[in-house]
Structure formats: structure tokens, C-alpha cells
Amino acid sequence: MRIQFRPVRVAMPLLILPLFWLGACGETDPGDQVQPEAQTASNDSEAIDACSLISKAEAEEAVGLTFQDPESTPYNPVSKSSECKFQTTDTSSGIASAGGLQVRAERLSNPAANFAGLRELLGEGEEVSGVGDEAFYVASQLFVLSGTHQVHVTVSLFGNRGDERRDVAVKVAETILPRL
């Protein structure tokens, strides 16, 4: 059996395909384009500083631990978010145990759809009523939608204290939400 190699048949689609891609990248409907200001909006009125939403003393009271000074992740104008982390090492029980609190606050361009997408991605979780417009708790994290803001509160406590983590996360969210 003789196999013939036909370079024209092989090469032709490889030459035509890039031209098709270039043609597909041509003009688009102006309504489909995202406005530049929507991509890079970063004026000071939109900036969120998560560490300004809860003080070290409030975090310590809510969690019941003594924290080091918080670590702040500055406002990111692309994700429109910032984070604040409180860390501790509590040795009062004679056993070194780490605990902490992390707060992430962000402004959403499409709050309902973004929050629904997050919920679908993470699974239903436990519905939490009375906090923000919508809230759910899953995997030691509380996710809250309030207006155009989304808040994630993560509580780390030593041992298997799931209900306590949820209650602490709710208390922290209740402190933060009026300040957004």
C-alpha cells in the first residue's frame, strides 16, 4: 500500500484558518463593547478598604481571640475589592492553636448575577437570614450580598466548632454592612 503525501491538501486549511480568525476579529456591534471606564473604574468614591470596616478590637470581641495588627490587601481597582486578615496564636490552653478572621469586601457591577454565580459555583450552602439582602454559609465562609457589595467573612477557630464559626461570621458581617 502506497501512501501519498499531498502537501497542498494539508497546508491549505492551515493557511485559510488564520484568515478566518482574523475576519472573525473584525468589527463588532458597538452595543457589544465594554466601555473603558467600566473596565478600569477606580475613582476614590469606589475604593473599599476592608480593614476600615472592622477594628481590631471589634474583631477580637467577635471572635474571642487576641489578634496581631491586621494585614491589609489594598484596594484592587480591577476586582474592585480589598481584604483584611487578622491572625493570632492562642496558647492559653497550653496547646498552640491558630485562629483568625479574614474579611473581603468588593463592589459588584452586576450584584444579583455575580452572587448567583458564586452560589452556583460553591454549592447551595446554608441559607443565612437577616444578614444583608442575601447570605449563605459554606465551608467556614459567610458570603453576603448587600446592595452592590459582596462581603466574604472567613473565621478560623481551633477544633470542630462549625456553628460557632458561622455565628461569629454573622456577627462580623453585621458590624461591617452598615459601613459599606
Please tell me the pTM assigned to this model.
0.69
Count of other CB atoms within 10 angstroms of residue 89: 12
Dihedral sign for Cα atoms in the order 132, 151, 119, 77: positive
Specify the pLDDT at position 132. 96
Q: What per-residue confidence (pLDDT) applies to 139?
A: 85
Domain architecture of the chain: domains with CATH: 50-179 (3.40.1000)
pLDDT tens, residue order, the chain (180 aa): 555 544 444 333 333 323 322 333 344 344 433 333 333 334 446 788 999 999 999 999 998 888 889 999 988 888 899 999 998 866 565 444 567 899 999 999 999 999 999 999 998 789 999 999 999 999 889 999 999 999 999 998 766 666 788 999 999 999 999 999
In the prediction, which pLDDT does 2 show?
Answer: 52
